[in-house]
Amino acid sequence: MLEILNLWPTKLAKKILLNCEEKNNQLLQLIDNWAQHNVSLTTDYRDHNPFEVDTPTTNWLRDEVNLAIVEYLETIDINYPVNWVIHGWASLNRHGDYHDPHNHPQSYLSGTYYVKVPEDSRAKHQRVDARPNCITFYDPRTGFNMQSIKNDPYIEPEYTVSPEPGLLMLWPASLMHFVHPNLSDETRGSISFNVMLKWSDDYLPEQQ
């Protein structure tokens, strides 16, 4: 019998947090307040860590993110204790704002929680491939789709998500991703974060 091995998978997690409208309004007020005092809020990611703010809403988000991390680790069969810290930052993207393709060094996982997302504005533009406010992830195996054929799972070198308020995402920090421009006159608000491990020798793989 032919044995098929699913090697080098990339796990990306998505979860919609329910009944979050009021919490999102409170988070957006927090982000707006920071943005009024810092026009470079989105790029000054070392300032204003929302996960260090002690309010019922930020504590709720911290708990949800920690729960998602636990579920993610369980899914990939991490069956030993792992300790981490979360460093987060707020983003407020105005018309035309985007983020170049990038990953997040010095981190184990990265993620984003979407607080506010403008309605789809593609109808205002001629290009059918416009994907405003979306986030696209790229296959880390460069050129792996060069010889793919129809129905081959490797034919698409990218995966795009159209976010909505309440969406929580989690992915390996090494994964390259691109945040498409905001083509709306409304702002897009989100809270991104890195999961950084507190080192333990237990993380070292056993010698084969």
Domain that holds residue 115: 13-198
Residue 5 lies in a domain: no
Adjacent-strand bridge partners of 159: 137
**CB neighbours of 201 closer than 8 A, spacing ≥ 6?**
none
In a domain, 7, yes or no: no
Is 6 inside any structural domain?
A: no
pLDDT tens across 55-83, in order? 999 999 999 999 999 999 999 999 899 99
Range with the lowest mean pLDDT among 5-19, 35-49, 105-119?
A: 35-49
Q: Could you tell me the CATH number of the domain that includes residue 143?
A: 2.60.120.620
In a domain, 66, yes or no: yes
- Separation CA 192–CA 170 (nearest Å): 10
* Tokens, residue 153: 């799972």
Q: Where are the beta strands (DSSP E) in 39-157?
A: 84-93, 99-102, 109-116, 135-138
191 within some domain: yes
Place of tokens 């007020």: 29
C-alpha distance from residue 180 to each of 58, 97, 118, 135 (Å): 26, 8, 13, 6
Strands of the 158-161 sheet, one edge to the other: 99-102, 177-179, 135-138, 158-161
Distances (CA, A) of 132 to 90, 99, 106, 124, 207: 19, 12, 29, 11, 47
Looking at the 3D structure of the chain, how many domains does it have? Answer: 1
Cβ distance 56 to 20 under 8 Å?
A: no
Residue 31 within a domain:
yes
Mean pLDDT of 196-202: 92
pLDDT digits (tens, 9 = 90+) for 138-187: 989 887 778 878 888 778 888 999 999 999 999 999 999 999 999 899 99
Which residue stretches of 50-156 are H helix?
56-75
pLDDT at 119 over 90: no
Q: CA 158 to CA 165: how far, in whole Å?
A: 23
Beta strand 13-16 with 177-179 is: unpaired
Query: How far is Cα 90 from Cα 48, in angstroms, rounded to an integer?
Result: 7
> Six-digit token pair at 32?
């707006």
* Predicted local distance difference test score (pLDDT) of residue 121: 57
Using an 8 Å Cβ cutoff, are 98 and 156 in contact?
no
User: Does any domain span residue 103?
Assistant: yes
